Structure 1
Protein backbone atom coordinates (compact mmCIF):
# COMPACT_ATOMS: atom_id res chain seq x y z
CA UNK A 1 0.00 0.00 0.00
CA UNK A 2 1.27 3.49 -0.84
CA UNK A 3 1.82 5.79 2.10
CA UNK A 4 0.80 9.43 2.37
CA UNK A 5 2.78 9.98 5.57
CA UNK A 6 5.87 8.16 6.83
CA UNK A 7 8.04 9.05 9.81
CA UNK A 8 11.12 6.94 10.57
CA UNK A 9 12.74 7.20 14.03
CA UNK A 10 12.00 10.92 14.09
CA UNK A 11 13.31 13.10 16.89
CA UNK A 12 12.96 16.83 17.46
CA UNK A 13 14.94 18.33 20.31
CA UNK A 14 14.97 21.87 21.62
CA UNK A 15 18.13 21.98 23.68
CA UNK A 16 17.65 19.37 26.39
CA UNK A 17 13.91 19.12 25.74
CA UNK A 18 12.99 16.07 23.64
CA UNK A 19 9.68 17.22 22.15
CA UNK A 20 9.62 14.14 19.90
CA UNK A 21 11.90 11.22 20.63
CA UNK A 22 12.32 8.32 18.17
CA UNK A 23 8.80 8.16 16.71
CA UNK A 24 8.04 5.94 13.72
CA UNK A 25 4.65 6.35 12.14
CA UNK A 26 3.03 5.64 8.78
CA UNK A 27 -0.41 6.40 7.35
CA UNK A 28 -1.98 5.45 4.05
CA UNK A 29 -4.80 6.91 1.94
CA UNK A 30 -8.23 6.76 3.55
CA UNK A 31 -7.00 6.40 7.14
CA UNK A 32 -8.63 8.54 9.83
CA UNK A 33 -6.25 8.54 12.80
CA UNK A 34 -6.63 10.02 16.26
CA UNK A 35 -3.41 11.36 17.80
CA UNK A 36 -3.93 11.65 21.54
CA UNK A 37 -1.83 12.64 24.50
CA UNK A 38 -1.59 15.23 27.25
CA UNK A 39 -0.31 18.76 26.67
CA UNK A 40 3.39 18.53 25.92
CA UNK A 41 3.23 14.92 24.74
CA UNK A 42 4.60 15.86 21.31
CA UNK A 43 1.41 15.94 19.19
CA UNK A 44 1.74 19.49 17.88
CA UNK A 45 5.46 19.03 17.20
CA UNK A 46 4.65 15.97 15.09
CA UNK A 47 2.18 18.04 13.09
CA UNK A 48 4.79 20.79 12.59
CA UNK A 49 7.23 18.15 11.31
CA UNK A 50 4.63 16.83 8.85
CA UNK A 51 3.88 20.35 7.66
CA UNK A 52 7.57 21.15 7.21
CA UNK A 53 7.40 23.95 9.79
CA UNK A 54 10.11 22.18 11.80
CA UNK A 55 12.99 19.96 10.73
CA UNK A 56 13.78 16.73 12.58
CA UNK A 57 16.85 16.57 14.77
CA UNK A 58 17.16 12.94 13.70
CA UNK A 59 15.26 10.52 11.49
CA UNK A 60 13.25 11.28 8.37
CA UNK A 61 9.81 12.65 7.49
CA UNK A 62 8.03 11.96 4.20
CA UNK A 63 4.65 13.42 3.23
CA UNK A 64 3.19 12.50 -0.16
CA UNK A 65 6.59 11.10 -1.07
CA UNK A 66 8.51 14.30 -0.36
CA UNK A 67 10.38 15.99 2.48
CA UNK A 68 7.81 18.58 3.65
CA UNK A 69 10.55 20.93 4.83
CA UNK A 70 12.03 21.11 1.32
CA UNK A 71 9.37 23.62 0.31
CA UNK A 72 7.85 21.75 -2.65
CA UNK A 73 4.84 23.92 -3.55
CA UNK A 74 2.99 21.05 -5.24
CA UNK A 75 3.13 18.98 -2.03
CA UNK A 76 2.10 21.91 0.17
CA UNK A 77 -1.00 22.49 -1.97
CA UNK A 78 -2.12 18.95 -1.19
CA UNK A 79 -1.90 19.50 2.59
CA UNK A 80 -4.70 20.90 4.74
CA UNK A 81 -4.08 22.20 8.25
CA UNK A 82 -6.36 23.51 10.98
CA UNK A 83 -4.37 24.85 13.97
CA UNK A 84 -5.68 24.68 17.51
CA UNK A 85 -6.03 28.46 17.74
CA UNK A 86 -7.48 29.86 14.53
CA UNK A 87 -6.56 33.48 13.75
CA UNK A 88 -7.88 35.51 10.83
CA UNK A 89 -7.87 39.20 9.94
CA UNK A 90 -10.98 40.50 11.75
CA UNK A 91 -11.52 43.29 9.20
CA UNK A 92 -12.06 40.86 6.29
CA UNK A 93 -15.33 39.11 5.61
CA UNK A 94 -15.57 35.34 5.65
CA UNK A 95 -15.79 35.28 1.85
CA UNK A 96 -12.78 37.59 1.44
CA UNK A 97 -10.77 35.48 3.87
CA UNK A 98 -11.45 32.22 2.05
CA UNK A 99 -10.96 33.83 -1.37
CA UNK A 100 -7.49 34.96 -0.25
CA UNK A 101 -6.56 31.41 0.83
CA UNK A 102 -8.00 29.89 -2.35
CA UNK A 103 -5.75 32.16 -4.42
CA UNK A 104 -2.77 31.53 -2.13
CA UNK A 105 -3.20 27.77 -2.45
CA UNK A 106 -4.03 27.76 -6.15
CA UNK A 107 -7.59 26.50 -5.65
CA UNK A 108 -10.35 26.72 -8.22
CA UNK A 109 -12.18 29.99 -8.86
CA UNK A 110 -15.31 30.31 -6.72
CA UNK A 111 -14.29 27.41 -4.46
CA UNK A 112 -14.76 29.64 -1.41
CA UNK A 113 -18.51 29.86 -2.04
CA UNK A 114 -18.96 26.07 -2.08
CA UNK A 115 -16.91 25.72 1.11
CA UNK A 116 -18.86 28.43 2.91
CA UNK A 117 -22.08 26.65 2.00
CA UNK A 118 -20.76 23.25 3.07
CA UNK A 119 -19.59 24.55 6.46
CA UNK A 120 -22.84 26.39 7.17
CA UNK A 121 -21.35 29.88 6.83
CA UNK A 122 -23.06 31.08 3.64
CA UNK A 123 -25.45 33.26 5.66
CA UNK A 124 -22.48 35.08 7.26
CA UNK A 125 -20.16 35.11 4.26
CA UNK A 126 -20.22 38.88 3.91
CA UNK A 127 -19.92 39.68 7.60
CA UNK A 128 -16.55 40.69 9.04
CA UNK A 129 -14.72 37.83 10.71
CA UNK A 130 -14.33 40.00 13.81
CA UNK A 131 -18.08 39.56 14.41
CA UNK A 132 -17.90 35.74 14.19
CA UNK A 133 -18.35 33.54 17.24
CA UNK A 134 -15.58 31.10 18.19
CA UNK A 135 -17.47 28.23 16.58
CA UNK A 136 -17.91 30.20 13.35
CA UNK A 137 -14.20 31.01 13.23
CA UNK A 138 -13.45 27.33 13.79
CA UNK A 139 -15.68 26.39 10.84
CA UNK A 140 -13.99 29.03 8.70
CA UNK A 141 -10.66 27.49 9.68
CA UNK A 142 -11.87 24.05 8.63
CA UNK A 143 -13.07 25.48 5.30
CA UNK A 144 -9.58 26.94 4.80
CA UNK A 145 -8.03 23.54 5.52
CA UNK A 146 -10.29 21.85 2.95
CA UNK A 147 -9.28 24.07 0.01
CA UNK A 148 -8.21 22.00 -2.96
CA UNK A 149 -9.47 18.68 -1.51
CA UNK A 150 -6.22 17.87 0.34
CA UNK A 151 -4.66 14.41 0.28
CA UNK A 152 -3.44 14.88 3.87
CA UNK A 153 -5.55 16.78 6.42
CA UNK A 154 -4.02 17.68 9.80
CA UNK A 155 -6.52 18.90 12.39
CA UNK A 156 -5.45 20.14 15.83
CA UNK A 157 -8.36 20.29 18.33
CA UNK A 158 -10.79 20.78 15.41
CA UNK A 159 -14.11 20.72 17.31
CA UNK A 160 -13.25 23.42 19.85
CA UNK A 161 -16.18 25.82 20.09
CA UNK A 162 -18.59 23.66 18.07
CA UNK A 163 -21.97 22.65 19.48
CA UNK A 164 -23.04 18.96 19.33
CA UNK A 165 -24.89 19.32 16.01
CA UNK A 166 -21.93 21.02 14.36
CA UNK A 167 -19.54 18.43 15.78
CA UNK A 168 -21.62 15.73 14.15
CA UNK A 169 -21.51 17.63 10.86
CA UNK A 170 -17.74 18.03 11.21
CA UNK A 171 -17.19 14.29 11.64
CA UNK A 172 -19.45 13.56 8.67
CA UNK A 173 -17.11 15.71 6.58
CA UNK A 174 -14.08 13.88 8.02
CA UNK A 175 -15.61 10.51 7.11
CA UNK A 176 -16.39 11.74 3.59
CA UNK A 177 -12.81 12.90 3.09
CA UNK A 178 -11.43 9.64 4.41
CA UNK A 179 -13.74 7.67 2.11
CA UNK A 180 -12.48 9.79 -0.80
CA UNK A 181 -8.90 8.72 -0.01
CA UNK A 182 -7.54 11.50 2.19
CA UNK A 183 -5.34 10.74 5.19
CA UNK A 184 -6.88 12.56 8.17
CA UNK A 185 -5.00 13.07 11.43
CA UNK A 186 -7.06 14.33 14.38
CA UNK A 187 -5.44 15.73 17.52
CA UNK A 188 -8.00 16.09 20.31
CA UNK A 189 -8.53 15.88 24.04
CA UNK A 190 -12.19 14.93 23.47
CA UNK A 191 -11.54 11.19 23.64
CA UNK A 192 -15.21 10.21 23.74
CA UNK A 193 -15.72 11.93 20.37
CA UNK A 194 -12.92 10.04 18.71
CA UNK A 195 -14.11 6.52 19.54
CA UNK A 196 -16.58 6.23 16.69
CA UNK A 197 -14.83 8.58 14.30
CA UNK A 198 -11.24 7.33 14.03
CA UNK A 199 -10.24 3.93 12.72
CA UNK A 200 -6.87 4.05 14.46
CA UNK A 201 -5.47 5.64 17.61
CA UNK A 202 -1.88 6.71 18.27
CA UNK A 203 -1.10 7.53 21.90
CA UNK A 204 1.82 9.83 22.71
CA UNK A 205 3.56 10.46 26.01
CA UNK A 206 6.68 12.54 26.72
CA UNK A 207 7.56 12.69 23.03
CA UNK A 208 7.28 8.96 22.42
CA UNK A 209 4.65 6.78 20.81
CA UNK A 210 3.42 4.35 23.47
CA UNK A 211 0.53 2.65 21.66
CA UNK A 212 -0.78 2.42 18.11
CA UNK A 213 -3.75 0.48 16.73
CA UNK A 214 -7.49 0.27 16.25
CA UNK A 215 -9.70 0.40 19.33
CA UNK A 216 -10.15 -3.37 19.17
CA UNK A 217 -6.39 -3.87 18.90
CA UNK A 218 -5.74 -1.54 21.85
CA UNK A 219 -8.37 -3.38 23.91
CA UNK A 220 -6.68 -6.69 23.10
CA UNK A 221 -3.28 -5.25 24.08
CA UNK A 222 -4.59 -3.71 27.31
CA UNK A 223 -6.66 -6.72 28.45
CA UNK A 224 -8.97 -4.41 30.40
CA UNK A 225 -12.26 -5.93 31.57
CA UNK A 226 -15.58 -5.46 29.82
CA UNK A 227 -18.49 -4.25 31.95
CA UNK A 228 -21.50 -6.54 31.82
CA UNK A 229 -24.53 -4.43 32.77
CA UNK A 230 -27.59 -6.51 33.61
CA UNK A 231 -31.16 -5.29 34.12
CA UNK A 232 -33.57 -7.43 36.10
CA UNK A 233 -37.27 -7.20 36.75
CA UNK A 234 -38.25 -5.15 39.80
CA UNK A 235 -37.17 -7.09 42.87
CA UNK A 236 -35.23 -9.66 40.82
CA UNK A 237 -31.73 -8.51 41.71
CA UNK A 238 -31.42 -10.85 44.69
CA UNK A 239 -32.39 -13.87 42.58
CA UNK A 240 -29.89 -12.86 39.92
CA UNK A 241 -27.10 -12.47 42.47
CA UNK A 242 -27.86 -15.96 43.78
CA UNK A 243 -27.80 -17.37 40.24
CA UNK A 244 -24.45 -15.67 39.53
CA UNK A 245 -22.95 -16.93 42.79
CA UNK A 246 -21.75 -13.51 44.01
CA UNK A 247 -18.60 -13.30 41.79
CA UNK A 248 -15.80 -10.88 42.70
CA UNK A 249 -16.34 -7.36 41.43
CA UNK A 250 -20.13 -7.57 41.35
CA UNK A 251 -21.75 -4.16 41.83
CA UNK A 252 -25.35 -3.30 42.63
CA UNK A 253 -26.03 -0.07 40.65
CA UNK A 254 -29.64 0.28 41.78
CA UNK A 255 -32.64 -1.90 42.60
CA UNK A 256 -32.71 -3.63 39.22
CA UNK A 257 -29.30 -3.06 37.57
CA UNK A 258 -26.17 -5.04 38.39
CA UNK A 259 -22.68 -4.62 36.89
CA UNK A 260 -19.89 -7.12 36.60
CA UNK A 261 -16.35 -6.77 35.24
CA UNK A 262 -15.35 -9.64 32.99
CA UNK A 263 -12.28 -10.66 31.02
CA UNK A 264 -12.91 -11.68 27.36
CA UNK A 265 -12.87 -15.35 28.42
CA UNK A 266 -15.21 -14.76 31.37
CA UNK A 267 -17.56 -12.74 29.16
CA UNK A 268 -17.91 -15.60 26.67
CA UNK A 269 -18.43 -18.14 29.45
CA UNK A 270 -21.09 -15.96 31.09
CA UNK A 271 -23.01 -15.56 27.85
CA UNK A 272 -22.92 -19.30 27.15
CA UNK A 273 -24.19 -20.07 30.64
CA UNK A 274 -26.90 -17.39 30.47
CA UNK A 275 -28.14 -18.74 27.13
CA UNK A 276 -28.08 -22.37 28.29
CA UNK A 277 -29.70 -21.91 31.69
CA UNK A 278 -32.18 -19.14 31.01
CA UNK A 279 -30.64 -16.53 33.33
CA UNK A 280 -33.13 -14.48 35.39
CA UNK A 281 -32.69 -11.07 33.78
CA UNK A 282 -34.57 -8.90 31.31
CA UNK A 283 -31.75 -7.24 29.37
CA UNK A 284 -27.96 -7.15 29.14
CA UNK A 285 -25.41 -4.69 27.76
CA UNK A 286 -21.72 -5.21 27.08
CA UNK A 287 -19.69 -2.04 27.70
CA UNK A 288 -16.10 -2.48 26.46
CA UNK A 289 -13.36 -0.19 27.83
CA UNK A 290 -13.55 3.23 26.21
CA UNK A 291 -10.72 5.27 24.78
CA UNK A 292 -10.38 7.28 28.00
CA UNK A 293 -9.79 4.06 29.98
CA UNK A 294 -7.35 2.73 27.37
CA UNK A 295 -5.48 6.03 27.33
CA UNK A 296 -5.12 6.01 31.12
CA UNK A 297 -3.96 2.37 31.02
CA UNK A 298 -1.23 2.91 28.43
CA UNK A 299 -0.16 6.19 30.00
CA UNK A 300 0.30 4.47 33.36
CA UNK A 301 2.22 1.54 31.86
CA UNK A 302 4.01 3.58 29.17
CA UNK A 303 3.76 0.53 26.96
CA UNK A 304 5.19 0.65 23.47
CA UNK A 305 4.19 -1.24 20.41
Structure 2
Protein backbone atom coordinates (compact mmCIF):
# COMPACT_ATOMS: atom_id res chain seq x y z
CA UNK A 1 0.00 0.00 0.00
CA UNK A 2 1.28 3.46 -0.92
CA UNK A 3 1.65 5.65 2.18
CA UNK A 4 1.24 9.41 2.35
CA UNK A 5 3.50 9.58 5.40
CA UNK A 6 6.30 7.11 6.12
CA UNK A 7 8.48 7.25 9.23
CA UNK A 8 11.28 4.71 9.68
CA UNK A 9 13.43 4.26 12.80
CA UNK A 10 13.16 7.94 13.65
CA UNK A 11 15.37 9.18 16.49
CA UNK A 12 15.74 12.72 17.77
CA UNK A 13 18.15 13.78 20.48
CA UNK A 14 18.58 17.13 22.15
CA UNK A 15 22.06 16.79 23.59
CA UNK A 16 21.90 13.89 26.03
CA UNK A 17 18.11 13.79 26.00
CA UNK A 18 16.38 11.33 23.65
CA UNK A 19 13.08 12.95 22.61
CA UNK A 20 12.25 10.16 20.15
CA UNK A 21 13.80 6.72 19.82
CA UNK A 22 13.25 4.32 16.92
CA UNK A 23 9.76 5.49 15.95
CA UNK A 24 8.32 3.87 12.80
CA UNK A 25 4.90 4.72 11.42
CA UNK A 26 2.96 4.92 8.17
CA UNK A 27 -0.25 6.78 7.36
CA UNK A 28 -2.12 5.66 4.26
CA UNK A 29 -4.35 7.80 2.02
CA UNK A 30 -7.74 8.27 3.66
CA UNK A 31 -6.52 7.03 7.04
CA UNK A 32 -7.18 8.87 10.31
CA UNK A 33 -4.48 8.22 12.89
CA UNK A 34 -4.59 9.53 16.47
CA UNK A 35 -1.27 10.31 18.16
CA UNK A 36 -1.57 9.98 21.94
CA UNK A 37 0.89 10.58 24.74
CA UNK A 38 1.47 12.54 27.92
CA UNK A 39 3.14 15.96 27.86
CA UNK A 40 6.77 15.33 27.01
CA UNK A 41 6.09 12.00 25.30
CA UNK A 42 7.47 13.31 21.99
CA UNK A 43 4.29 14.18 20.05
CA UNK A 44 5.23 17.81 19.32
CA UNK A 45 8.78 16.84 18.39
CA UNK A 46 7.47 14.24 15.96
CA UNK A 47 5.11 16.76 14.35
CA UNK A 48 7.87 19.37 14.01
CA UNK A 49 10.10 16.84 12.24
CA UNK A 50 7.27 15.83 9.87
CA UNK A 51 6.70 19.50 9.04
CA UNK A 52 10.42 20.10 8.44
CA UNK A 53 10.73 22.59 11.30
CA UNK A 54 13.53 20.71 13.08
CA UNK A 55 15.97 18.07 11.78
CA UNK A 56 15.99 14.46 12.88
CA UNK A 57 19.05 12.86 14.43
CA UNK A 58 18.66 9.62 12.48
CA UNK A 59 16.05 7.66 10.58
CA UNK A 60 13.92 8.61 7.61
CA UNK A 61 10.71 10.55 7.04
CA UNK A 62 8.94 11.06 3.72
CA UNK A 63 5.72 12.87 2.81
CA UNK A 64 4.47 11.66 -0.57
CA UNK A 65 8.05 10.47 -1.21
CA UNK A 66 9.43 13.95 -0.46
CA UNK A 67 11.73 14.99 2.38
CA UNK A 68 10.25 17.09 5.21
CA UNK A 69 10.65 20.79 4.57
CA UNK A 70 11.09 20.39 0.82
CA UNK A 71 8.84 22.32 -1.56
CA UNK A 72 7.02 19.12 -2.53
CA UNK A 73 6.43 18.16 1.11
CA UNK A 74 5.17 21.65 1.97
CA UNK A 75 2.69 21.47 -0.88
CA UNK A 76 1.45 18.08 0.25
CA UNK A 77 1.12 18.79 3.99
CA UNK A 78 -0.85 21.23 6.11
CA UNK A 79 -0.72 22.00 9.83
CA UNK A 80 -3.17 23.26 12.42
CA UNK A 81 -1.68 24.16 15.82
CA UNK A 82 -3.53 24.01 19.10
CA UNK A 83 -3.74 27.80 19.38
CA UNK A 84 -4.21 29.34 15.95
CA UNK A 85 -3.44 33.10 15.95
CA UNK A 86 -4.43 35.61 13.28
CA UNK A 87 -4.44 39.40 12.90
CA UNK A 88 -7.36 40.60 15.04
CA UNK A 89 -8.16 43.58 12.82
CA UNK A 90 -8.78 41.46 9.72
CA UNK A 91 -12.00 39.65 8.98
CA UNK A 92 -12.04 35.91 8.50
CA UNK A 93 -12.65 36.45 4.80
CA UNK A 94 -9.72 38.86 4.46
CA UNK A 95 -7.41 36.50 6.32
CA UNK A 96 -8.19 33.49 4.14
CA UNK A 97 -7.97 35.61 0.97
CA UNK A 98 -4.51 36.67 2.11
CA UNK A 99 -3.37 33.07 2.61
CA UNK A 100 -4.83 32.03 -0.73
CA UNK A 101 -2.84 34.77 -2.43
CA UNK A 102 0.34 33.64 -0.66
CA UNK A 103 -0.26 30.10 -1.95
CA UNK A 104 -0.87 31.30 -5.49
CA UNK A 105 -4.57 30.37 -5.31
CA UNK A 106 -7.56 32.47 -6.31
CA UNK A 107 -8.93 34.68 -3.47
CA UNK A 108 -12.42 33.77 -4.71
CA UNK A 109 -11.97 30.40 -2.97
CA UNK A 110 -12.06 32.06 0.47
CA UNK A 111 -15.80 31.99 1.02
CA UNK A 112 -16.24 28.32 0.00
CA UNK A 113 -13.47 27.40 2.47
CA UNK A 114 -15.13 29.37 5.28
CA UNK A 115 -18.46 27.76 4.43
CA UNK A 116 -16.85 24.33 4.67
CA UNK A 117 -15.67 25.04 8.24
CA UNK A 118 -18.94 26.68 9.30
CA UNK A 119 -17.83 30.31 9.35
CA UNK A 120 -19.83 31.76 6.47
CA UNK A 121 -22.05 33.84 8.78
CA UNK A 122 -19.03 35.36 10.55
CA UNK A 123 -16.82 35.74 7.47
CA UNK A 124 -17.01 39.56 7.46
CA UNK A 125 -16.52 40.00 11.20
CA UNK A 126 -13.12 40.96 12.59
CA UNK A 127 -11.16 38.01 13.94
CA UNK A 128 -10.66 39.98 17.15
CA UNK A 129 -14.34 39.31 17.92
CA UNK A 130 -14.02 35.55 17.32
CA UNK A 131 -14.07 32.95 20.07
CA UNK A 132 -11.16 30.51 20.35
CA UNK A 133 -13.22 27.87 18.61
CA UNK A 134 -13.94 30.20 15.70
CA UNK A 135 -10.23 30.98 15.37
CA UNK A 136 -9.59 27.24 15.19
CA UNK A 137 -12.02 27.09 12.28
CA UNK A 138 -10.13 29.87 10.51
CA UNK A 139 -6.98 27.82 11.05
CA UNK A 140 -8.61 24.75 9.56
CA UNK A 141 -9.81 26.75 6.54
CA UNK A 142 -6.24 27.97 6.06
CA UNK A 143 -4.93 24.40 6.38
CA UNK A 144 -7.30 23.19 3.66
CA UNK A 145 -5.91 25.56 1.04
CA UNK A 146 -4.47 23.62 -1.86
CA UNK A 147 -6.19 20.31 -1.00
CA UNK A 148 -3.34 18.91 1.17
CA UNK A 149 -2.75 15.17 1.08
CA UNK A 150 -1.61 15.12 4.73
CA UNK A 151 -3.21 17.07 7.56
CA UNK A 152 -1.19 17.33 10.79
CA UNK A 153 -3.51 18.53 13.56
CA UNK A 154 -2.34 19.38 17.09
CA UNK A 155 -5.25 19.34 19.58
CA UNK A 156 -7.57 20.56 16.77
CA UNK A 157 -10.79 20.65 18.82
CA UNK A 158 -9.33 22.72 21.64
CA UNK A 159 -11.84 25.44 22.52
CA UNK A 160 -14.70 23.96 20.51
CA UNK A 161 -18.08 23.24 22.08
CA UNK A 162 -19.53 19.70 21.79
CA UNK A 163 -21.62 20.49 18.70
CA UNK A 164 -18.67 22.17 16.96
CA UNK A 165 -16.45 19.20 17.83
CA UNK A 166 -18.91 16.82 16.23
CA UNK A 167 -19.07 19.02 13.12
CA UNK A 168 -15.27 19.19 13.03
CA UNK A 169 -14.90 15.41 13.04
CA UNK A 170 -17.62 15.10 10.40
CA UNK A 171 -15.51 17.39 8.22
CA UNK A 172 -12.43 15.23 8.89
CA UNK A 173 -14.44 12.14 7.94
CA UNK A 174 -15.33 13.81 4.65
CA UNK A 175 -11.72 14.78 3.95
CA UNK A 176 -10.52 11.25 4.72
CA UNK A 177 -13.23 9.80 2.45
CA UNK A 178 -11.75 11.92 -0.34
CA UNK A 179 -8.27 10.51 0.28
CA UNK A 180 -6.65 12.92 2.73
CA UNK A 181 -4.40 11.40 5.38
CA UNK A 182 -4.93 12.74 8.88
CA UNK A 183 -2.51 12.63 11.81
CA UNK A 184 -3.97 14.27 14.89
CA UNK A 185 -2.77 14.71 18.43
CA UNK A 186 -5.41 14.92 21.14
CA UNK A 187 -5.95 14.55 24.86
CA UNK A 188 -9.71 14.17 24.30
CA UNK A 189 -9.61 10.38 24.23
CA UNK A 190 -13.36 9.85 24.10
CA UNK A 191 -13.44 11.85 20.85
CA UNK A 192 -10.72 9.99 18.99
CA UNK A 193 -11.97 6.61 20.25
CA UNK A 194 -14.83 6.65 17.75
CA UNK A 195 -13.47 8.88 15.01
CA UNK A 196 -10.06 7.47 14.08
CA UNK A 197 -8.95 4.34 12.25
CA UNK A 198 -5.72 3.70 14.13
CA UNK A 199 -4.15 4.79 17.41
CA UNK A 200 -0.47 5.39 18.17
CA UNK A 201 0.66 5.78 21.78
CA UNK A 202 3.99 7.42 22.59
CA UNK A 203 5.64 7.21 26.00
CA UNK A 204 9.03 8.68 26.83
CA UNK A 205 9.82 9.09 23.15
CA UNK A 206 9.04 5.50 22.21
CA UNK A 207 6.05 4.04 20.41
CA UNK A 208 4.60 1.63 22.97
CA UNK A 209 1.41 0.69 21.12
CA UNK A 210 -0.07 0.99 17.64
CA UNK A 211 -3.19 -0.41 16.04
CA UNK A 212 -6.95 -0.14 15.75
CA UNK A 213 -9.04 0.02 18.93
CA UNK A 214 -10.07 -3.67 18.69
CA UNK A 215 -6.43 -4.67 18.12
CA UNK A 216 -5.27 -2.71 21.17
CA UNK A 217 -8.01 -4.28 23.27
CA UNK A 218 -6.87 -7.75 22.26
CA UNK A 219 -3.24 -6.94 23.02
CA UNK A 220 -3.97 -5.35 26.39
CA UNK A 221 -6.30 -8.19 27.44
CA UNK A 222 -7.96 -5.98 30.05
CA UNK A 223 -11.14 -7.20 31.77
CA UNK A 224 -14.56 -6.63 30.25
CA UNK A 225 -17.24 -5.12 32.51
CA UNK A 226 -20.83 -6.38 32.37
CA UNK A 227 -23.87 -4.79 34.00
CA UNK A 228 -26.87 -7.10 34.34
CA UNK A 229 -30.28 -5.67 35.24
CA UNK A 230 -32.62 -8.25 36.78
CA UNK A 231 -36.35 -8.36 36.37
CA UNK A 232 -38.26 -7.74 39.60
CA UNK A 233 -37.56 -10.46 42.12
CA UNK A 234 -34.92 -12.30 40.12
CA UNK A 235 -31.76 -10.54 41.35
CA UNK A 236 -30.98 -13.34 43.86
CA UNK A 237 -31.28 -15.99 41.14
CA UNK A 238 -28.91 -14.07 38.89
CA UNK A 239 -26.49 -13.50 41.77
CA UNK A 240 -26.35 -17.25 42.40
CA UNK A 241 -25.66 -17.90 38.71
CA UNK A 242 -22.96 -15.20 38.66
CA UNK A 243 -21.17 -15.62 42.01
CA UNK A 244 -18.56 -12.97 41.21
CA UNK A 245 -21.17 -10.27 40.59
CA UNK A 246 -21.76 -7.36 42.95
CA UNK A 247 -25.33 -6.17 43.50
CA UNK A 248 -25.68 -2.38 43.24
CA UNK A 249 -29.12 -0.72 43.15
CA UNK A 250 -30.82 -3.76 41.65
CA UNK A 251 -28.14 -4.31 38.99
CA UNK A 252 -25.35 -6.85 39.11
CA UNK A 253 -21.87 -5.71 38.13
CA UNK A 254 -19.10 -8.11 37.22
CA UNK A 255 -15.90 -8.29 35.21
CA UNK A 256 -14.35 -11.14 33.28
CA UNK A 257 -11.19 -11.71 31.22
CA UNK A 258 -11.48 -11.24 27.47
CA UNK A 259 -11.00 -14.99 27.05
CA UNK A 260 -14.06 -15.68 29.24
CA UNK A 261 -16.35 -13.06 27.69
CA UNK A 262 -18.34 -15.38 25.42
CA UNK A 263 -18.65 -18.01 28.14
CA UNK A 264 -19.97 -15.41 30.60
CA UNK A 265 -22.40 -14.00 28.06
CA UNK A 266 -23.67 -17.54 27.44
CA UNK A 267 -24.35 -18.01 31.14
CA UNK A 268 -26.26 -14.74 31.25
CA UNK A 269 -28.26 -15.63 28.14
CA UNK A 270 -29.17 -18.92 29.79
CA UNK A 271 -31.00 -17.00 32.52
CA UNK A 272 -33.65 -16.07 29.94
CA UNK A 273 -36.45 -13.77 31.07
CA UNK A 274 -34.86 -13.26 34.48
CA UNK A 275 -32.61 -10.69 32.79
CA UNK A 276 -34.21 -7.37 31.90
CA UNK A 277 -31.13 -5.77 30.35
CA UNK A 278 -27.44 -6.35 29.75
CA UNK A 279 -24.71 -3.81 29.11
CA UNK A 280 -21.26 -4.89 27.96
CA UNK A 281 -18.50 -2.33 28.56
CA UNK A 282 -15.19 -3.15 26.83
CA UNK A 283 -12.04 -1.34 28.01
CA UNK A 284 -12.18 2.30 26.96
CA UNK A 285 -9.40 4.11 25.14
CA UNK A 286 -8.57 5.79 28.45
CA UNK A 287 -8.05 2.36 30.01
CA UNK A 288 -5.85 1.26 27.11
CA UNK A 289 -3.86 4.48 27.14
CA UNK A 290 -3.13 4.11 30.86
CA UNK A 291 -2.21 0.45 30.36
CA UNK A 292 0.28 0.98 27.54
CA UNK A 293 1.73 4.35 28.55
CA UNK A 294 2.58 3.07 32.03
CA UNK A 295 4.74 0.38 30.48
CA UNK A 296 2.60 -2.52 31.60
CA UNK A 297 2.82 -3.87 28.06
CA UNK A 298 5.05 -3.32 25.10
User: TM > 0.5 between the two?
Assistant: yes
The TM tier, using the shorter chain, reads: over 0.9
Q: Which residue matches 2:177?
A: 179
Q: Please tell me whether the aligned partners of residues 23 and 208 of structure 1 are also in contact (alpha carbons under 8 angstroms).
A: yes
In the TM superposition, what are the counterparts of 1:83-122 in structure 2 within 5 Å?
83-122=81-120
Between stretches 1-10 and 11-20, larger displacement belongs to 11-20
Residue 194 of structure 2 aligns to a residue whose secondary structure is coil
Q: Which residue matches 2:186?
A: 188
Q: Which residue matches 1:293?
A: 287
| Alpha-carbon offset, residue 43 of structure 1 | 0.6
> 1:62-92, CA deviations, whole angstroms, 9 ceiling, x for partnerless residues?
11101013x22x3312212101121111121
Q: Please tell me whether the aligned partners of residues 78 and 150 of structure 1 are also in contact (alpha carbons under 8 angstroms).
A: yes
2 CA distance for matches of 1:280 and 1:198? Answer: 38
Over 3 Å counting, the alpha-carbon distance change for 1:109 and 1:99 in structure 2 is closer
Q: Which residue matches 1:228?
A: 226
Gaps of 5+ in 2: none
1 CA distance for matches of 2:297 and 2:221? Answer: 13
Q: Please tell me whether the aligned partners of residues 210 and 302 of structure 1 are also in contact (alpha carbons under 8 angstroms).
A: no
2 CA distance for matches of 1:226 and 1:279? Answer: 23
Q: Which residue matches 2:246?
A: 251
Between stretches 105-114 and 36-45, larger displacement belongs to 105-114
Q: Which residue matches 1:262?
A: 256
Q: Which residue matches 1:138?
A: 136
1 CA distance for matches of 2:181 and 2:248? Answer: 42
TM-score relative to the length of structure 1? 0.94
Q: Which residue matches 1:282?
A: 276
RMSD: 1.4
1 CA distance for matches of 2:232 and 2:145? Answer: 57
| Alpha-carbon offset, residue 57 of structure 1 | 0.7
> 1:244-285, CA deviations, whole angstroms, 9 ceiling, x for partnerless residues?
2x12xx23332x211111122321012223334526211111
| 2:198 corresponds to which of 174, 197, 200 | 200
Q: Which residue matches 1:39?
A: 39
2 CA distance for matches of 1:154 and 1:132? Answer: 23
| Alpha-carbon offset, residue 108 of structure 1 | 4.1
| Alpha-carbon offset, residue 17 of structure 1 | 2.1
Between stretches 143-152 and 276-285, larger displacement belongs to 276-285
2 CA distance for matches of 1:303 and 1:223? Answer: 10
Between stretches 268-277 and 221-230, larger displacement belongs to 268-277
1 CA distance for matches of 2:190 and 2:263? Answer: 29
Over 3 Å counting, the alpha-carbon distance change for 1:253 and 1:139 in structure 2 is farther
Q: Which residue matches 2:22?
A: 22
Between stretches 106-115 and 94-103, larger displacement belongs to 106-115
| Alpha-carbon offset, residue 223 of structure 1 | 0.2
